Structure 1
Amino acid sequence: MDTLTVTQILDSNLADWRRLAQALHARFATGDFMAGLAFVTAVGAAAEEANHHPDVTLTYPYVDLKLISHDASGITQRDVDLARKISDIARQQGIESQPAALAEIEFALDTANAAGAGPFWAALLTGSADNVDGDDVQDGNGRVPLLWFQHTDAHETPRQRIHLDVWVPHDLAEQRISAAVAAGGRVVDDSEAPSFVVLADPEGNRACVCTCLDRG
């Protein structure tokens, strides 16, 4: 099955869902554990019927869901279809979504030697030096954020080598950036907006606010 472009995903009008780094994400405010359990049970039945299964996190006040077609390495129509079905279930059970609560963190390491650094970071973060996929260190158990390697020329001058990528819903990026600036930060580079904007804290430590927009 073909993966969908960002435009195709946005045109699907999934009001409860947002594409972050790689997948569709949603949070549903269930209010208590038993309501969440009933919701997850219904979602599980829909997933079994579709033969396509989301990642689910059940907590006391909310349920987080993530949809991606791993066999296609991206979001496909079956993810969109199941997202709609899950939203229907939420509405039937009187459960509201909270897209403004969504965020995803990735770490980026600036390096001229990704092949050398990769096994170390994979072993440190995941327990196995084999968990390197291209320029990414991935934890198959989902316990730690993704680490990716940003290629650069070798250099001796001390500089920040690790920064955070903070993925937020595309329609909330300006709000998040404004909040960070109001809290003492500054915009370093917005030339790649709306794809990402580089911010710095008062001491110069940098992070990128990232969205799914304007990406290949």
Structure 2
Amino acid sequence: MDAIGNPDILRAIADELGDWRKLAQPLVARYRVADGVGGAEFAAAVAREAAASRYDIPEVRLGPGHVDITLYSVDPGSGRRGVTAGDLDRARAITRLAKEHGLTAVPGEVTQIELCVDTAADAVLGPFWAALLTGDPENTPVTDTVFDPTNRVPGTWFQRTDAHPTPRQRWHIDLWLAPEAAPQRIALALAAGGTLVDDTDPSFTVLADPEGNRACVCTALGRG
């Protein structure tokens, strides 16, 4: 799999793919639909276009008033997920289909959650969390993440750290957002009683709830 780096993906978004946003691994778009029938017709058109192009059917989530589409490729050797030139081609095609169906993109609403745990032994923890969350203990971490093949649950990312005694907060969530949506979400969380812990890196901001439990708001900005 010839994955494309974040800088090139962000350039493509700025130049021609304004409906889309890059999250942790995938490229994601959300479209407003008037009703479920219209959403289903659009989803079917996306599936037909992909099949005609001999591309794997994208992940399409149809909900009240919206359709979410997620694009990524899986490396057959490692299982690693990333965005390829083929995924960008599909994004262009889906953007054209959305215009034909008269749909409006709301890229600021795209979201992805990753479950994150600090560990010095991801190879030891991986089978447990794979078995618990995906039902397959052989579904061991890909590089540093356990993925459910059909995305029923969020990926579990093992953040490698030095061994350390417990107790210490070891679990947190990474909330991936469109770059333009992150500042408002951070402001809302702070106004609701949160604390800013660290905003020195443009790619993520660390927040804490009123009891000190931390979470990260992440974007694709500043990533390789």
TM-score (norm 1): 0.93
User: For 2:82, what is the secondary structure of its paired residue?
Assistant: coil
Say which of 60, 70, 83 aligns to 1:75.
Answer: 83
Q: Are the equivalent residues in 1 in contact too, given 2:7–2:223 (CA < 8 A)?
A: no
Other structure's SS at 1:107 match? strand
More displaced, 151-160 or 96-105? 151-160
Q: Which runs of 5+ in 2 are unaligned?
A: none
Deviation at 1:113, TM superposition (A): 2.2
- The alignment's TM-score, normalised by the length of structure 2, stands at 0.90
In structure 1, the residue matched to 2:66 is 62
- 1:81-100 aligned within 5 A: 81-100=89-108
2:63 maps to a residue whose letter is T
| SS of the residue 1:178 aligns to | helix
1:205 alignment partner AA: N
Matches within 5 A, 1:1-216: 2-12=2-12, 13=14, 14-52=17-55, 53-71=57-75, 73-133=81-141, 134-192=143-201, 194-216=202-224
**Which is worse superposed, 198-207 or 176-185?**
176-185
Instruction: Flag structure 1 segments of 5+ consecutive residues without an equivalent.
Output: none
> Following TM superposition, by how much is the alpha carbon of 1:75 offset from its aligned partner in structure 2, in angstroms?
1.0
- Cα deviation digits, residues 138-163 of structure 1 (max 9, x gap): 11121110011112222224110100
Distance 1:198 1:125 in 2: 26
How many aligned residue pairs are there?
215
State the shift of 1:135 in Å: 2.2
4+ aligned runs moved over 3 Å, structure 1? none
What is the DSSP-based 3-state SS (H/G/I as helix, E as strand, rest coil) of the residue aligned with 1:131? coil
| TM superposition shift of 1:189 | 0.9
Q: Percent of aligned positions with the same letter in both sequences?
A: 50
Deviation, 1:69, is 2.0
Tell me how large the CA RMSD over aligned residues is.
Answer: 1.6
Tell me by how many angstroms 1:204 deviates: 0.2
